[in-house]
Structure 1
Amino acid sequence: MEAESSHGMPAIPIFGGDNYQVWAIKMEVHLKAQDLWEATEQDYEVADLPANPIMNQIKIHKERKTRKAKAMAYLYVAVSPNIFTKIMNLSSAKAIWDHLKEEYKGNERVKNMQVLNLIREFEMQRMNESETVKEYTDILLSLANKVRLLGKDFPDQRIIEKILVTLPERYEVTISFLENAKDLSSISLAELLNALQAQEQRRLVRIRGAIEGALLAQTRPTGEKKVWNHNNKLANVGNNNSGNYPPCPYCKKTNHPQYKCWWRPDVKCNKCSQLGHITIVCRSQQQEGEARVAADQHEEEELF
């Protein structure tokens, strides 16, 4: 959550008690941009003005006092009402900052336990067959960044190794290509993700094309129906809008007359020469289509 800000400045991040490390980083940068970090980091004293001060001394004195008050005002705005009641009696911006840090950052022992739990969760991750590369790596990166926010080092190479050993088998071609093309110990995380997502996109295009082709082959022209006559010839006739038919004795459906059924015992398949079905629903033809898709995929992977 963030408060509204004017003068083109980013909105002030609001701290509600969670994710202190993230809020502290954002708030520190915000205070520095407003030239208020010194007043927050140090509880400096503003010396009294001397007798008969000059205009420049008056100006500096006022600026330093104003900066301390503005730093407190920004911190008051940057916390939720529940937290405000805990800091409203503190006398300086530094006192407020130190109080929030002490209460919400946690001690070293607690941080170490949080890091261990995050690393354990990271090591347990495995990519599901239904997940995309982006979905899986987003989970890994989120865990790695949480560890980094707790002040612990977590190199990209560790994420790369995790991805390489936990990917499903369908990515083996890409990994083998990368191993042959360059040293995997020096590959960047961005390079690896780009290569994996490129293969994933090609695979999705192939699957989508195969599905669309199958649907197109079975699509009937508007206003026409396909009818198979006794000579196994395909003919188009006008759309019959007479309503439901009696249940077909061959397939039990009610959307066609008996003599138009694809599963009539006297109809012969041109593909397998068997009686009892037509070519468009022939199992052997469907298997050939699936084999062609698999062959195309294998050929593209070899080229890649």
Structure 2
Amino acid sequence: MATKNNVVAFQYPRLTKENYDKWSLIMKTVLGAQGFWENVEKGYTEHDVAVMLNQSQKEASQNERKKDKNALMVIHQGLDDDMFKKVANATSSKQAWDTLQKFFEGVSRVKKVRLQNLRGEFKKLEMLDKKSISDYFGRVLNIVNQMKRLGESMQDCRVVEKILHSVNSDFNHVVVVIEELNKDLESMTIDELSGSLQAHEQ
């Protein structure tokens, strides 16, 4: 939180493409603390000007409208320029919130499908004959890095085991030696395995 003249200024969390779940939880708390979350959750509907309201109803309607605009303002405070464009046309806090939710649910589904495809590619990886170790490592790490960017936990030992079990037959005896010398493959790094296999290749 920033301070100015001894007054604490609250810093709203900034929404990014990677932190929607955390951002939405914090913003729900912030909106709730300010008494605005109910407006976001249930929505606010403008009354038809033709509908006759008594003074009490008019005041209640104006109060709800003000709270909704304040809620919308709070949501805007947590967005950068790119994210703001997605809700720029929203006229209520609920509309803005639902728009962001649908967008990130769609992004999440696409990520899940892409990650599932990459898992399949990783499982099917095999070293082609007449290809170098460095070429094969490049193929493996390209897929591994894509999986990591999508949130997959990829420990070195998982990649090491995959490579050892998928190099071509020219490296069979080297694989046996490596596995004998490294009973606990969890302690072997990808770089160490690459060095060992490339040393044999030369």
After TM superposition, the score normalised by the length of structure 2 is 0.49
After TM superposition, the score normalised by the length of structure 1 is 0.34
Larger Rg: 1
